[in-house]
Amino acid sequence: MTDVSIPVARTAWRGHASVEGVRRVAEEAPVALTYGRTTHAVMLATPGDLEDFAYGFSLSEGIIASPADVTALEVVTVRDGIELRMDLAGDRQEALTRRQRHLAGPSGCGLCGLDSLAAAIRPVPRVPAGPTLTTGTIEAAMRSMVPAQTLNADTHAVHAAAFWTPTRGLVALREDVGRHNALDKLAGALARAETSVDHGIVLLSSRISVEMVQKAATLGATVVAAVSAPTALAIRTADAAGITLIGIVRPDGFEVFTHPDRIQQEPVAERHVA
């Protein structure tokens, strides 16, 4: 299973008339993340950029500290879905095995392998100081996402996470039916390319929940901007992490919820009097 979208027959109603035709829809598959042949989590995901997903999920869940901790990775299609089979360096595998012995139950989307309520709101790392950005850079960054969201243009059904810098523009973008998965895929892609994220903007096409802020903080992101709004817990978590959290980004502006000192007004061009 490698297609990220497939054509399906559909009947479209336009006004009072129906039209038979074909639409492409996003594919969705169970993806198991296994370490040492033991399944840690099963996520429903778009079956694309799966190596990035394996690394990004492992980083955001604290299973590895860097891609070098994964000594082998194999993407295997099985009868019921896809397995991302990873082998870890000895100390990492031992730590994960100890952690799995204390799991209370099955994993869920966004919060995998938790054994207590406290683990759901675990402390996040403090991010670096980061750059000062103008209002125009926020708007330009978000505009750059749309033409790069090719799967969403095809299906109108997937989320995107991207990284943008003032000097390089759009560095990377990943798409998935799950917003958590899209951000994990982005994290994996950036880590594999050894790209630092402290001088750019992490862009999201979704709402900003606490899990998204936790993943961004683990990534080291200093600025996170999204088309939708954050939750209250996401705001508190971003504030504690030192992240500038920006939501409701529209062509006519946006709203900053935490650490607004990183954002400054676009400079007005000087007027020359003849």
Q: Count CB neighbours of 19 within 10 A.
A: 9
Q: Which pLDDT score, from 0 to 100, does residue 203 have?
A: 98
Q: Are 42 and 107 in contact (CB under 8 A)?
A: yes
pLDDT at 108 over 50: no
Rg (CA), the chain: 20
- Kindly report the average pLDDT of the chain as a whole number: 90
39-90: pLDDT as tens digits: 999 999 999 999 999 999 999 999 999 999 999 999 999 999 999 999 999 8
- Note the pLDDT tens digit of each residue in 189-231: 999 999 999 899 999 999 999 999 999 999 999 999 999 999 9
Query: Does residue 112 have an active-site annotation?
Result: no
Pick the catalytic residue: 25, 89, 95, 109? 109
Q: What is the pLDDT of residues 81-92, one digit of tens each?
A: 999 999 999 899
Show the tokens assigned to 160: 């995107």
Tokens coding 85? 């089979």
Whether the CA torsion 131, 134, 136, 138 is positive or negative: it is: positive
| Tokens found for residue 223 | 């600025």
User: Cα 209 vs. chain centroid, distance in angstroms?
Assistant: 11
**Averaged over 98-124, what is the pLDDT?**
57
Write down all domains in the chain, each with its CATH number in brackets: 29-120 (3.10.20.10), 133-264 (3.40.140.10)
pTM (predicted TM-score): 0.90
CA–CA separation, 153 vs 155, rounded Å? 6
